[in-house]
Chain A
Amino acid sequence: MRVAYIFATTGHTVSYKLGRMILPQLEEGRHGAQVVAMFFFEDNNYILRRGDPLGERLVKVARENNILLMGCDQCCYERDIADKLFDGVRIGCFPDLYRALEQSPPDQVITL
């Protein structure tokens, strides 16, 4: 099964669900689904900022597995990090996400 994750809520979304479950499972090759994309809203975008330790691991896994990483553009602009993200990580909004997913459509979109 191919999935896309949308990290929409804040709190423990990135540090716990992504950092302690999804990411380690992807690193170990036992996540159980093929992740095609991750889209980040609000404070979750800080993981995409260059230098973030969790982000470095995520970007490495994303490159190895061809996972699209995209930050919400307005969320990133609001936080002044739009031009400070890891190389290859793009900002965008729904049209950009849908256009990108057309190349590799998921079976399920999971909102966390």
Chain B
Amino acid sequence: MGCCQTAPQTVGDLLQAALARPRWRAPAPAGCAEEPTQNLRVEVYLEAEAGRIRRLDYRCTTCASLIAYCEALVRLACCRSVAEAAELDATDLIRSVGGVPGHRHDRAHLAAAAFRQALAQHQLHEERSPSG
């Protein structure tokens, strides 16, 4: 997975990257978001250690714009502290992917929602764990 790349990427580049890089799946997704009217779904897998995101990946519906935003999410959030990553939102994703028309920006909101839920799950897990 890529780390901390913030320069705007094209959808084409991000699609290629999504196909090329090795993928990681946790046993169960940490966060999930759906847009039922368009049959869109995103699952986010997250692993954090010592307050820093160690591994982050996703599985989503095969929509080019959605894949691009999810891939951008991995690049933006990976290696950051959980607190820093929690600041990321859909606007950051939209800004980081060039050339997407406005009517496709809803995909960024979907990816961000799944990521927010993954972070919330992580926080919950940390609070419940004896060492956390």
Contact = CB atoms under 8 A, between A and B. Distances in A.
Interface of A: 73-74, 77-78, 80, 82-83, 85, 90-91, 93, 95-96, 99
Chain B facing A: main interface SS: helix
A95 B99 contact: no
Contacts, number: 38
Contacts of B63: 73, 93
A77 B38 contact: no
B96 interface: no
Interface of B: 10-12, 15, 38-39, 63-65, 68, 99-104
Contacts of B15: 74, 77
A83 B101 contact: yes
21 contacts: A73-B65, A74-B64, A77-B10, A77-B11, A77-B12, A77-B15, A77-B64, A77-B65, A77-B99, A80-B99, A82-B11, A82-B99, A82-B101, A82-B104, A83-B100, A90-B101, A90-B103, A93-B64, A95-B38, A96-B38, A99-B38
